[in-house]
């Protein structure tokens, strides 16, 4: 998205789309009592005039949007003909709904808007993001960059850039840039004793949204076993792969640490395609189009999916965080299982990592 504030002409153009029958004038940095608004717009309708006080922010996260909402709600307009608005380059459907539910009027430069006043009601939705190709900020949820967040969630307090870089085998310069982006999004704070996580639950929701619909390379197999649990028993006895080379996930992985839902297929990640073949041979598995009870995948997160891997009941499984991401949109009681995992294990880890 855009890094800089739009010009007066860009704001005026956006408002002219919303008020096609009005005459729009825009000024920057308006003083309102002891506070300032980023823009002041006056919309003239014949003899009537509406004053709009616009707070503009390029929100990068759910946490930052909520902070902006609270700030804006604390700044009430003084007169009936005066209205405070939140503006951004682009607001997704979910963020539009958050603003509507909070009662905060808004518009974005793509054309989406919800503005209500005594004699004004504008509701425009469905405009796509025209700034996608302009995004230049580092994505903290990409494979390599996500190692920084994973380390913060999994590790002890008093962690700094250099200790994280050493743990995840990245350069301090790279980790520093990821941390800067996380600070901009409101998810990391620098303290005297190191870095602390902030707004953990909002962070997870942003992460789920970034991870959703990511493709994995999967092959389906049938193992001669009466149940998925029996397949896992065979893995304990027959699997020759080292435990750091594979990791169970989704319901099979969850069954080892927070058993909750029945399942009939074992999902497992391996590090490369040669290990897919090796696991299939070890289990005498037959590749099938239907009726699979084993799915072997190369994960979307080729590097970080194996970070903080854990062991339980003689088997290897992904971290609580990766398990949560994989379960959240899993069709067979996945959301329910993810919530149980959060309540029992991941939530307390996030709370310990925040320390704010």
What are the residue boundaries of the structural domains of the chain, listed by start?
A: 8-132, 137-198, 217-354
Distances 273 to 18, 260, 276, 346 between C-alpha atoms, Å: 53, 31, 5, 30
Q: What is the pLDDT of residue 47?
A: 79
Q: What is the pLDDT of residue 212?
A: 84
The CATH number of the structural domain formed by 217-354 is 3.30.460
Q: What is the pLDDT of residue 1?
A: 40
Q: What is the pLDDT of residue 313?
A: 95
Residues with Cβ within 8 Å of 130's Cβ and at least 6 positions away in sequence, in order, are 90, 109, 110
Strand 315-317 and strand 310-312: pairing? antiparallel
- Stretches in the chain below the pLDDT threshold 50: 1-2, 133-135, 356
Q: In 10 A of CB 257, how many CB atoms?
A: 15
Q: How far apart are CA 322 and CA 68, in angstroms?
A: 30
Q: What is the pLDDT of residue 137?
A: 63
CATH class of 8-132: alpha beta
Q: What is the pLDDT of residue 118?
A: 63
- Assign domain 137-198 to its CATH architecture: Orthogonal Bundle (1.10)
């Amino acid at each position: 998205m855009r890094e800089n504030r739009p010009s007066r002409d860009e704001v005026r153009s956006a408002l002219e789309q919303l008020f096609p029958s009005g005459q729009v004038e825009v000024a920057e940095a308006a003083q309102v009592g002891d506070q300032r608004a980023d823009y002041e717009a006056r919309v003239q309708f014949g003899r009537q005039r509406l004053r709009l006080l616009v707070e503009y922010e390029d929100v990068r996260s759910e946490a930052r949007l909520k902070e902006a909402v609270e700030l804006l709600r604390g700044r009430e307009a003084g007169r009936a003909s005066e209205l405070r608005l939140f503006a951004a380059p682009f607001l997704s459907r979910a963020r539009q709904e958050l603003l509507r539910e909070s009662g905060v009027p808004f518009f974005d430069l793509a054309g989406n808007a919800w503005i209500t006043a005594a004699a004004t009601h504008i509701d425009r939705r469905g405009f796509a993001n025209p700034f996608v190709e302009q995004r230049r900020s580092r994505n903290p949820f990409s494979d390599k960059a996500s190692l920084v967040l994973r380390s913060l969630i999994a590790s002890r307090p008093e962690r700094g850039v250099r200790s994280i870089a050493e743990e995840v085998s990245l350069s301090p310069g790279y980790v520093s840039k990821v941390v800067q982006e996380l600070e901009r999004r409101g998810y990391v704070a620098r303290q005297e004793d190191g870095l602390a996580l902030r707004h953990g639950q909002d962070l997870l929701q942003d992460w789920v949204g970034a991870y959703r619909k990511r493709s994995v390379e999967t092959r389906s197999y049938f193992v001669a076993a009466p149940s998925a649990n029996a397949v896992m028993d065979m893995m304990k006895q027959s699997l020759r792969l080292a435990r750091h080379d594979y990791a169970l996930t989704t319901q099979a992985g969850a069954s080892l640490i927070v058993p909750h839902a029945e399942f009939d297929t074992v999902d497992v990640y391996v590090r490369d395609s040669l290990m897919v073949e090796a696991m299939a041979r070890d289990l005498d598995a037959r590749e099938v189009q239907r009726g699979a009870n084993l799915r072997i995948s190369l994960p979307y997160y080729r590097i970080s999916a194996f970070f903080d891997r854990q062991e339980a009941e003689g088997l290897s499984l992904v971290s609580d965080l990766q398990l949560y991401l994989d379960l959240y949109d899993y069709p067979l009681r996945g959301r329910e299982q993810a919530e149980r995992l959060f309540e029992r294990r991941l939530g307390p880890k996030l709370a310990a990592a925040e320390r704010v």
